[in-house]
Structure formats: structure tokens, C-alpha cells
Amino acid sequence: MTALLEASGVSKHFGGLYALNGLDLHVNEHEIVSVIGPNGAGKSTVFNVITGLYTPDGGEVAFRGGSLLGRLPSQVTKLGIARTFQNVKLFPNMTVLENAMVGQHCRTKTGVVGALLRTPSARREEAVIRERAADALGFFGSRLAGYRQDQLASVLSYANRRRLEMARAMATEPVLLLLDEPTAGMNPRETLELRDHIVRMRDERGITILLIEHDMRVVKGVSDRVVALDYGQKIAEGSYEYVAHDPRVIEAYLGTKATG
Amino acid sequence: MRSVVVRGAVRAGAVAGITVWYLALVGIIERLADLAIIGGFLTMDQLLIFLPAALAGWVALRPRVIGGERLTPDSKTAIVGGLTTGLASAAVVVAGVVIVNLIGVESVRRVFSSLSPALMDELYLGLAPVAGTIVLGLCMVVVAAAAAALRRLPANVRQPIVAGLAGVVAVALLERVAAPAFDQTGIEKDWLYNKRLGGLEWVGAVVVFVVVALTVRFELGRRLRDILLPDRAADKGALAVSAQPATVAAAEMDATTQAEPPSAPEREDHPLEPRVSARSLQIVAWLVIAGLLAVLPYLVGPVVARILGSVGIFLLLGLGLNIVVGYAGLLDLGYVAFFAVGAYFTAILTGGQRVTFAGFRPPVIGADLNFFVALPIVVLIAAVIGMLIGAPVLRLRGDYLAIVTLGFGEIARVIFGSTWAEELFGGALGMSEITSAPIPGTTFDFQSDPRHFYYLVLAFCLLAIVVSWRLQASRIGRAWNAMREDEQVADAMGISTTRYKLLAFAMGGAIGSIGGALFAVSLGSLTIASFKILVSITALAIIILGGLGSIPGVIVGALVLIGLPGLLTQFEDYRLLIYGATLIAVMILRPQGLVPNIRRSRELQEDERSQDQWAKHLLEADATDAPQPSGGAIT
């Protein structure tokens, strides 16, 4: 069986700095894979390469057997890969619902003529967009429901911004969802709640998930597989237990033991 | 507190005094001497002499934030502050008068040509020099103190008074427009305008003041807006009701649309009844507006109809540019290019002739189409040129985009006016014999009768408004919005930024070219002098003044920046000075524009209030249902 996402030998350097150095990474369908590693290990760069924001200097990235290289971010999203950003990036002056409706953009096709004439098909599509966006928001229960859908995204609490960003990504109807530190800045209770959401996203909606995460309780709770990066290379891969006890991972996080 | 206010008062007063001298030396004050506000009592030049002092008094007494606390000056401070402001401004003005007299008016005049004995007489308020100077100073003190006292009043008293005073001045200035309208309709107007001296009668002034003050006091303008445009509120209400508990939804509707305490759940009990009557009210209101628009040119006469025509042309430019800048966030300073494209291509497609020294010559490529056949072709050409201009600048943002488009605007001007393209566009001498856009079978003459032209412009403005409105409310508008907010994220969410940028340039160009086409029709001839960069700047000023992305804003912007200068011809020479001052004032006092896009200005405070409601609801739900985590979301 071929993997849903297959990155092989991916390199990306900025000047003399290798953010990624011959990285191999694969994600199987219906899997939840966590990427861990210390700051600067190249985790976010992986996401940016996959989604087309960066062009890799070497290697290959394939999604469902087709290459992603040279595709624009919008095209990658249309193929079924959605993402969130490490530092939450919403459309702050649009309402919560509109943010999610933007996610539906790549699944709909009303053009200028439809919009100007308000054709029946355009109206129907607009209703569908609204419905699906509300559905994506509804995934987070009462958090993003009700009056809140008409609020500007900029007035949301921090945790809700993260949730909205995930809802917006879900509204693109992705096959693979890339979550960049989804629990960063959340309090313990919210973190636990989000952990359940991630698992539910896979179980209920069938979305494959690749996430970058620092909170080891979350990594432990959700991951089918964990990949540890350091200096742009994979240093360990396997179950949480395996990776967590790998001496190279411990070294990457804590440094080497003083010898002698 | 008091020392802060007094220091501010001295500063504000000094600035006011300098402003008076500035206005005097650039010649505005003398120019407006014969423009009466209230016949026999107040003229515009006197108003300009005292207005700076009043504004200074107003500003000096503003609430201050000291040590994180917002403090309103107390009565004693207000009196001291107001008097100080007045003294400071009077001191500067009087000092100026003394200095001028010491040097000698004629000597100063060699440098400042506007400083005539007549101007000095105006500063003396028509009295003898010494007495006049003293009275002038005293009056400034009184005016500044009065303004400071006004500031102390509660908002619901203060705002109507200020608006009423402004209304009196506005109605007086509009005499030239309003008087013919009264004559036309046969309504008695002698109580309002003073026939002999110009300006308002006292009775008229009082009536205007009361009417405007009451309008503001009872917020009739906002009520009218709610009647005319309830759609957004209604949509949201319905949506919220379907999704979540009714009381919260109702509270939310009230909080964001009416700013009343959220206590109107009865709307839920009779969801249909009030909405039906609101609907019919809305229809009636719109019909009244439509009727007014229909008879307007015959009400106000041909002179004002011509002004309305140019308002319409610039409204089209504003609406088009609003798509590019307001919706898509692409700062385009070369928008005049589309205005020129519309005008010149209309000319060559409708049988326009090149002007040469040897008489009229047909352009090398041209046609003799009816205007309404040619217009779609013109619009198409403009859309294509929009994309051609858009393509090379796709990767540029902000300042860089602005500079490059500025260049494109100049390139367009140079090409249309060049000897190189003379055979096509007439070069420096331009084009003539442009169609008057006859509609077969009718006697409309859009070129020689500005009232007819008004209807032509009105039709296309309405069309452009509908187009803008529908685009904004569609999937396309949302994509533009997202792109303006964050281009990279929009791209990552599946929006092809290339496509939507080009679309914005094309749509904006198309609408702008209609403005150009109508401009060509209205004049019947073109020269390149009409297509200066000032057109781009004016269109941009219109949308910034009105509020970026707001259609009502563009309308207000066009009326203020094109309509008012057209009506107030006394100010014609100072048009750009007033533009600049207006823009600075708006940017400082109301950066979101005069009629901002609702979503961009919705106030945080209201959102917080409804959030509290929501929190209460959640807590109640928690008490009955299984405990749910709710802490973090409500912070």
C-alpha cells in the first residue's frame, strides 16, 4: 500500500542553514502522525514545503501518488491538504462564519456571472457554503456556535482562534490536515479538550492528521506514530513510547550528558 | 489636571490664532466677505475668523487620559481653560494686527498679496481699527469660552447643538442650490433666505437649527438607515436563531444593531409581525428616495444637474476603484488610466474625430457605432487592459504596487496624448465630435441638457452599485476580503490570488471605464489635460473619505468631494487646500471613513457585552447539564 503522503529526501536551505536535510516522511491514510523536535528542527518547514509555500531544494513530495512540487498553495489545498499556522493566522476583520466560509472556496465555483445575476445555482451554492461552514464550526460544539459566528474573528479568545483556524481548515474538506502546534498557549483543560477533537476528527470525519506538537501529553494521547526531527533530519520514528525513550531524542531535547 | 488643560489651551489657542492668519493670508477670508450666513448679522469671513478659536476651545477641553484614567475637566477648569484658549488665540491675532500696522499694510502686501486694506477692515469687524481690534479679541475670548462650555454639556445635548449650528451654516451655503429649487416648486422661501442681503433670515436659521438638532437628538438618520438597509441585521438574526438558543440570538441582534439593552425577547414571540411592517416601511422609504432621484434634476435646475452629473462620473470611478482598493486591497494610484481608456475608446468607436490644425480627421481605426453598442466593447477593452496592467504587478504589494500603478497611470496619459498615437487618439489636440449617445426614438440629449445627462449617469451608477454590492456579498467578494486581510493565508485556504487579483483589476477597470465613457459623452470632446494624476488621487480620496469597502461611503465621498466644491464655487480656488485639510481631519478623527463598512467598524464593546450574555447562558446550561469546561473560552 502506498502512503497518502510521501516525502523523500526533502532538503531546504536558507542561505547556508539547512532547515531540512534529506528528510523522509510518510503518512498513511487515517493515521495521526506527530512531528516533534526542538525549536529550529525544521518542523514548520516541512509543513511549508508540503503546502507549497516553499519550494524544496531537493527531494520529492507526493500526495496520493502525484507530485506536489511546483504547485501553488491554493492548488495543494484543492487537492485535499489543509493546514493551520503556528502563530494563528485568521482573517481578523471577517466574522467567524465568514472565516469558515472562505474555507469552502476551493470546493465551490460560482463565478462573476453567477454572483452578478444571483442565479439559482449561485444561491444554492451560497446556502451550501453557509451550511458546510456552520457544520465545520459545529464540530467544536458550543465554542464557535450561536452568536459567536457573527462576531469578528479578532474578538475571539486565544483558544477560540485556534479552534476557528482548525474549523476553517476543516471547511476545505481536506483528506490530510496539517496542524502546527494546535495546543500552543492553551490552558490544560482546553488542551485536553483539543486532544479529543483531534482524535474525533480522524474517527468521525476520516481526516488523516499530521501535527506538530510540543505538549507531550497530547502527542502521547493522539499519535499512531511519532517522528522526531533535529537539524532537519529524522532522528527517530515509531510509537510514542519508543521515540520518547530514544537516546538521540533525549539528547536533542536535553543535550548530552556530561562525560568523564 | 488643570495645569494640563491650561497648557493645552494655550497651545490650541495659539494654533487657532495662527490658523486665522493663515486663512487671511491665503486670501480665503477676503474672498468670502460677501457670502452671508445670516443676512445682516454673520458672513462667512467672520465665521472663518472665529471658527478656529471655537475649535481650539473645544479641543482644549477634551477629556484626558491621565495615569490610565479618563478624566473630564470640571467646571472651574472648563472656565479657566476656555478663557485661556480665547486669550491665547486673541493674543496671536491681535499681535498680528499690531505688527502689520507697525510695518504698514502696503509694505506687507508686497509679500502677502492677499493682505489688503479690505481684509484689515474685515478683521476690525467693520469698526474703527483700535475699537475693532479690541472687539475682535473680546469676541474670540467669548467664542472660545462658549465652545469650551459646550464641551462640558452631556452628549445628548451637545451633539444636537453642534449639529444644528453646522446645519445652519450648511443650509446658508447651499442657498444657490436651494433657492432655485424653492422657486421651481413654488414653495414660499422668503422666511428662509434673505433676498436682499443673502444668507438666512433669522427665522429660517432658527427653524433649520431646531430641525437639525431634533434630527440628531432622536437619531432619525440612523433610524432611516435601519429602515432602508435592515438586511444584514435580519440575516444575522435569522441565522443565529436557527443555530442557537433564542434569547441569546435576540440579545445579540439588539446589541449589534440597535445598541439597546438586550431585553427584547418579544421579537421571538412574534417573529413575523414586526418584520412585515418593517418590510413595507422599507419599500415606502426606498420609493420616496427613488421618486426624489427621479425628479431631482428638474427640482434643482440645469446648473446643479451638471454638478450631479460630475458627481455621478466620479461615483463610478470611486465604485470601480473601491473594488480594487477597498475589496481586494490593491492600492492602485494609476486608476486614471481606465478613465482615459473609457473616454478615448468611446470617442473612436462612436465616430469621434481627431482635432488637427487642418480640421477634423477621422482616427485610423474607428467606427461609428451607437453609444450603447460601443459601450460593452469599451468595457471589455478596459477589463482586458486591467488584466494586462495587473499581470506584471501580481507579486507586488503595498507601496511597491502603488508606485508601479502610479507609473502605469502616467504611461496611459502619455500614450493617449502622444504624437506617436496621434493618428488614433488625436494627440495633444484631442478628439471632438463625440456622440451624444442618442437613444433611437427618443428626444434625450445627453450632451446639451445636463438634466438628461443626469439620468444617463444615474442609470449607470445604479448598475455599478448593484454590481459592487452583489460581488461583495458573493463568494468572490469573500475571496477578495480574505486576500486583503492576508494574502498568504488566503492562498493557503485555496484561493487563487492570481486569479482574484486579475479579476479585481478587470472589474475595477470596467466600472471606471464607464465613468470615462460618460465623461466623453457629456463633453463631446476630449483633451489629454482631463486625464491627469489628479483624477486618480480624487477617486482615492473619495473612497478613503467615505470609508474603504463601503458603497454608501463612496456615495457620500463623491457628494462631499465633488458635489460640495461644485456647489460652493466661492471655494473653487481653494479646492485642493480644502481636500487636503478634509482628508487630514478625517484620517485623524475618523480613520475608518465617514460611512464605514459595517464589519470594519463594529465596536468591540458591543461584542463584549453579548459575550457576557453568552457566558451567562453557558453557566446556566452548565448548572443543568453535565458540567462542561467553559473557562478559557470566555476570557
Strands (E), B290-410: 353-356, 359-361
CATH classification at residue A226: 3.40.50.300
- On chain B, the residues whose CB falls within 8 A of the CB of A85 are 489, 492
- For the segment A160-185, what is each residue's pLDDT rounded down to a tens digit? 999 999 999 999 999 999 999 999 88
Using an 8 Å Cβ cutoff, are B540 and B321 in contact?
yes
- For the segment B144-155, what is each residue's pLDDT rounded down to a tens digit? 999 988 888 888
Give Cβ neighbours of residue B453 (< 8 Å, ≥ 6 apart): B305, B306, B309, B446, B447, B518, B521, B522
Using an 8 Å Cβ cutoff, are B581 and B630 in contact?
no
The CA-atom distances, in angstroms, between B403 and each of A81, A155, B323, B397, B481 are 36, 34, 19, 10, 23
Q: Judge if B477 and B362 occupy the same domain.
A: yes
Closest approach of chain A CAs to the CA of B469, in angstroms? 9
Q: Judge if B279 and B320 occupy the same domain.
A: no
Is the residue at B569 inside a domain? no
User: Between chains, do B475 and A108 touch, taking CB under 8 Å as contact?
Assistant: yes
Is the residue at B510 inside a domain? yes
Q: Judge if B279 and B362 occupy the same domain.
A: no
Q: How confident is the model at residue B628 (pLDDT cuts 50, 70, 90)?
A: very low
Is the residue at A116 inside a domain? no
Q: Judge if B331 and B478 occupy the same domain.
A: yes
Number of H helices, E strands in chain B: 29, 7
Give the total number of structural domains in chain A.
1
Q: Judge if B306 and B244 occupy the same domain.
A: no
Is the residue at B157 inside a domain? no
Domain boundary among B127, B152, B177: B152
Q: Judge if B259 and B307 occupy the same domain.
A: no
- For the segment B581-626, what is each residue's pLDDT rounded down to a tens digit? 888 888 888 888 888 876 544 444 444 445 555 555 555 555 554 4
Provide the 3-class DSSP secondary structure of residue A238.
strand
Is the residue at A27 inside a domain? yes
Q: Judge if B43 and B142 occupy the same domain.
A: yes
Q: Judge if B630 and B530 occupy the same domain.
A: no
Is the residue at B409 inside a domain? yes
Domain boundary among B152, B180, B207: B152
Neighbours of A94 (CB within 10 A): 22
Provide the 3-class DSSP secondary structure of residue B69.
strand
Is the residue at B576 inside a domain? no
CA-to-CA distance for A208 and B633, rounded, in angstroms? Answer: 27
Is the residue at A21 inside a domain? yes
Facing residue for B486 by CB, picked from A91, A115, A147 = A91
Q: Judge if B308 and B273 occupy the same domain.
A: no
Q: How confident is the model at residue B236 (pLDDT cuts 50, 70, 90)?
A: very low
Give the total number of structural domains in chain B.
4
Handedness of CA B492, B493, B499, B504 (dihedral sign): negative
Is the residue at A79 inside a domain? no
Is the residue at B25 inside a domain? yes
User: Between chains, do A91 and B610 touch, taking CB under 8 Å as contact?
Assistant: no
- For the segment A11-49, what is each residue's pLDDT rounded down to a tens digit? 999 888 889 999 999 999 999 999 999 888 889 999 999
Question: pTM for the full model?
Answer: 0.83
Domain coverage including residue A231:
1-71+209-260
Interface of A with B in 92-121 (CB under 8 A): 92-95, 97-98, 101-103, 105-108, 110-112, 114-116, 118
Interface of A with B in 174-203 (CB under 8 A): 186-187, 189-190, 193
Q: Judge if B18 and B131 occupy the same domain.
A: yes
Is the residue at A160 inside a domain? no
Name the residue among B613, B614, B544 with its Cα closest to residue B583. B544
Is the residue at A256 inside a domain? yes
- On chain A, the residues whose CB falls within 8 A of the CB of B599 are 93-95, 152
- For the segment B454-500, what is each residue's pLDDT rounded down to a tens digit? 999 999 999 999 999 999 999 999 999 999 999 999 999 999 999 99
- On chain A, the residues whose CB falls within 8 A of the CB of B493 are 74, 77, 82, 102-103, 105-106, 168-169, 172
The CA-atom distances, in angstroms, between B221 and each of B198, B205, B214, B230, B589 are 29, 21, 11, 14, 20
Closest approach of chain B CAs to the CA of A106, in angstroms? 5
Domain coverage including residue B351:
302-541
Q: What is chain A's Cα-based Rg?
A: 19
Q: Average pLDDT for residues A237-258, to the nearest whole number?
A: 85
φ, ψ (nearest 5 deg) of residue A58: -165, 160
- On chain A, the residues whose CB falls within 8 A of the CB of B604 are 155
Is the residue at B438 inside a domain? yes
Is the residue at B566 inside a domain? no
- For the segment A77-134, what is each residue's pLDDT rounded down to a tens digit? 999 999 999 999 999 989 999 999 999 999 998 889 999 999 999 999 999 999 999 9
Whole-number percent of chain B with pLDDT over 70: 86
Name the residue among A141, A200, A207 with its Cα closest to residue A174. A207
Q: Judge if B282 and B308 occupy the same domain.
A: no
